[in-house]
Amino acid sequence: MLDDSGRGAAPGNESRAAAFFDLDKTLMMGSSGVFFARAAFESGMISRSRLVRDVYENVRFRLLGSTDERADDVRKRVGEMIAGVRVRDLERLSPRVLAGVLPRLYPEMLERAYAHQDAGVPVYILTAASQEMADLLARVLAFDGGLGSRSEIVDGRYTGRPAGPFNYREGKVVSMRELADREGLELAASYAYSDSESDLPMLRAVRHAVVVNPDAALRRIAAEEGWEVIELDRLGRRLKVLAALGAGTVAASLGRLALDRGLAPREPRGRTGSRAPRPRGTASRAAASRPGPRRPAGRTRPGRRR
């Protein structure tokens, strides 16, 4: 059972609660969108340059988190991409998308979700990704449902226009409240898991907020609020370690180069500006080790007779 911190509670007290899990960087490493983009590229729906851009955005998202501007940009690009596409054609990308997403799920977060279910608390994916993605993963993971961003469909094809609130910032709370009204759930007794400051409305809408792989802004707020923090994504830390190692290697190389080229610090000078005198009878190592002139190889000249 889960308590007030999200780890256990007395049975019978959570009968109307639910647990909401963000998808990207919370249930899984990185963004699910990059695997959708890869599947779309392989099927000829998008260009290689578009795929490269989406891969770059995935790495940036893992390191820095999301922003409102980038979220809106992603939504517009996806709408343009699917406009006129048959629903069936998009559904056929599912096996390829799952092949990328499933190996990147965090086992620790699945354990959390299943612990909620075992305690009688229904579990839902709550994501800005498509409703189709949310439904697909909810079925595969045996969750109780998924809440995603819905797109308009006319005559079996996507129009590229939204068919409901964008599941981002306050949009997620709208979806949560709609579900709570339908299922008789109580958000004030529920749980929410997310990685981003943009999900503050979602986290503040429930009683138990847990942050996972938080961005800098959410980490600061979590410390102020006393929320539980779960760290699972090691990419940022690995890059910092590599950067530190790289900086150390560069510094060492520059030091060796300086010594090899005679750029080492000079000996201290006296008050008059002249070099400090050497002790008598002492020669520098450089002078002692300097080789003398060599005679050319070959026949040696005989010495003179007296």
Catalytic pick among 4, 24, 135, 199: 24
Tell me if residue 215 is catalytic. no
CA 232 vs CA 66, 116, 279: distances in Å = 18, 19, 62
Tell me if residue 24 is catalytic. yes
Is 91 in contact with 132 (CB distance < 8 Å)? yes
Between CA 69 and CA 167 the distance in angstroms is 14
Bridge partners of 192?
Answer: 20, 209
- For the chain, the C-alpha Rg in angstroms (whole number) is 32
The pTM assigned to this predicted structure is 0.69
pLDDT given for residue 244 in this prediction = 45
pLDDT in tens, the chain (306 residues): 455 544 444 344 445 999 999 999 999 998 888 898 889 889 888 767 766 665 555 455 444 455 556 666 767 778 888 899 999 999 999 999 999 999 999 999 999 999 999 999 999 999 999 999 999 999 999 999 999 999 999 999 999 999 988 889 999 999 999 999 999 999 999 999 999 999 999 999 999 999 999 999 999 999 999 999 999 987 655 554 444 454 444 444 444 544 444 434 444 444 444 444 444 444 444 444 444 444 444 444 444 444
Crossing angle (nearest 10°) for helices 48-64 and 235-260: 90
Catalytic pick among 4, 22, 68, 181: 22
